[in-house]
Amino acid sequence: MKLAFLHYHLNRGGVTRVIEGHLRALQRAREKGFLAFCPNAKLPVLVLYGGRAEGWPWALGDSLPALAIHYKALSCLDYDSEQETLPTPELVTAAIEEALQEAGFLPEETILHVHNHSVGKNAALPEGIFRLAARGWRILLQIHDFVEDFRPANFRHLAAGMLRWGNNPPTWQGRLYPQAAHVHYAVLTHAAAAVLARSGVPAERIHYLPNPIAMVAHLPARAKARKKLQNCLGLTSDNSYWLYPVRAIRRKNIGEAVLLAALGGSKVRIGISLPATSPAETPAYHFWRRLAQDLCKNVYFELALQTQADFPTHLAAADRVLTTSLAEGFGLSFLEAWVCDRELVGRDLPEVVDDFRNLGVKLERLYRQLVVPASVVEIASLRSYLRNCYREVLDCYGVRAADSWWEQLDQKVAGKTLDFGDLDELDQARIINRVADDKAFRFQLLEENPWFEDWLKNPSDPELIAANKQHVLDNLGLEAVGRYLARIYEALLAITPREEPGPLEQFHQIAEQLLRPERFRLIRSGKLRV
């Protein structure tokens, strides 16, 4: 067997870390004797990417003696926004196949493990993958993010490309998900697996493949780390330091982290690790950074880029790891905190973390809502804005909402209280300003959200942290994920490609499941009004 990984880039980020984790997991699988299809010789691995590789550990292969890793940069795989001219499916197909054949990778012995092909960053890639399937390559399509999951701009970009290359509307969408016995799918959660199954993908072609969680390198001593942060954060023994290890894009709900800092006052310091960098995301990021500087002197940004203290120092100094995110493909932060011997606190995302709870991980300090009084915002205006934004998203995907969907959407703003996460940046900022100016209002929010007082008053439980750490490593560590990968690859190798791939016929079911009103958030899909 030979294995080729494919992704847009190898820049520092979630999917890149997963590819690195998969390579490490394959090494562990070889050490444990799981790789029956390659028991003795080194496993040949080719990593195809678009050319950008900031932060990739090029010495990785030296520590993985069971793998023979080679790399090939193909510019046509990168994001369309990074290329001078848009690639075509013909170019993508030819470039991938030529790179595979130059490396001695033939269809009958190769698995092509493709990450996030249909998310809409490269409009030619899905059609290119479809054509590779038609040429007999065994393919594992790993879905980290669905383009149908409130990503209308990406969806429009895909639509323009697919129509440009002669695919008919709306059936082109089915070609995002080619169907053949030798094309399988890997998903990060059981909820995502259910989405594909309900849309007509045969169960035997859908594989649960959680992201690997590895032991972290040794952290600095806590006392030494906190002393180092005294100057840059004003951190003292009286402060509780919560680290939000995230790139500050809109769906990470940065305003909610700022609100928590405002509620915590001098007792709390909150640090956010990385800035937003894309043109679509930076306006909201700069808005929150300015507001936090004006109103909350206890929120700190871009910690991972600072020279005074590296990221492991911030992690070692932190009392807890925070998440306020509204949507995750997998939810690494819900697990990595425990492996770093830190408690996780923050917003609950059931469709992600229910998988972790089923593995025995106890996530006790997570909240489903951050309750705020409805009287603080203009409800009639908010309801109209919510409906308009939701209608625009549905129209983009060609989905017609049932009457019950509109009723469910209106329920978000029908009571005396609202969930802060259902608001957009403009209304969130109004509430934070009110907290900063009005002590009585601050106390009202603390009463409405009693879990926050629990965070402030009660320390983390070392026994809970140790137990969760063990559950995570036992069920999602490199050895466990190595077993998952071995089983998936073995299933694909057992199939002889004989059929032409076809499009997913019930493709519309994917959008109809993911675009339901209870999953809609203005911060994810509404227009930025700041």
In terms of Cβ atoms closer than 10 Å to its own Cβ (0-12, 13-18, 19+), residue 275 is middle
> How buried is residue 407: exposed, middle or buried, by Cβ count under 10 Å (0-12/13-18/19+)?
exposed
> For the chain, how long is the longest CA-to-CA vector?
70
Q: What angle do CA 327, 333, 335 make, to 5 degrees?
A: 120
Q: Give pLDDT tens digits along the chain (530 positions).
A: 999 999 999 998 789 999 999 999 999 999 998 887 776 679 999 999 999 999 899 999 999 999 999 999 999 999 999 998 889 999 999 999 999 999 999 999 999 999 999 999 999 999 999 999 999 999 999 999 999 999 999 999 999 988 888 777 778 899 999 999 999 999 999 999 999 999 999 999 999 999 999 877 688 899 898 888 887 787 888 889 999 999 999 999 999 999 999 999 988 999 999 999 888 899 999 999 999 999 988 999 998 887 678 888 889 999 999 999 999 988 888 898 999 999 999 999 999 999 999 999 999 999 999 999 999 999 999 999 999 999 999 999 999 999 999 999 999 999 999 999 999 999 999 999 999 999 999 999 999 999 999 999 999 999 999 999 999 999 999 999 999 999 999 999 999 998 999 999 999 999 999 999 999 999 988 778 87
- Residue 349 in 3-state DSSP? coil
Phi first, then psi, for residue 53 (nearest 5°) are -150, 45
Show Cβ contacts of residue 23 under 8 Å, excluding neighbours closer than 6 positions. Answer: 45, 60, 64, 67, 69
Q: Measure the CA–CA gap between 301 and 322, rounded to whole angstroms.
A: 14
Q: Is 439 exposed, middle or buried, given 0-12, 13-18 or 19+ CB atoms closer than 10 A?
A: exposed
Q: Is 305 exposed, middle or buried (0-12, 13-18, 19+ CB in 10 A)?
A: exposed
CA distance 142 to 185: 6
Residue 61 phi, psi dihedral angles, 5° rounding: -60, -30
Token code pair at residue 216: 């972290």
Residue 125 and residue 117 in contact, taking contact as beta carbons nearer than 8 Å: yes
Q: Can you read off the two tokens belonging to residue 287?
A: 């808005």
Q: Are strands 183-187 and 138-143 parallel, antiparallel or unpaired?
A: parallel
Reading the block at residue 374, the tokens are 């409805």
CA–CA–CA angle 122, 127, 130 (5° rounding): 130
The amino acid that residue 335 corresponds to is L
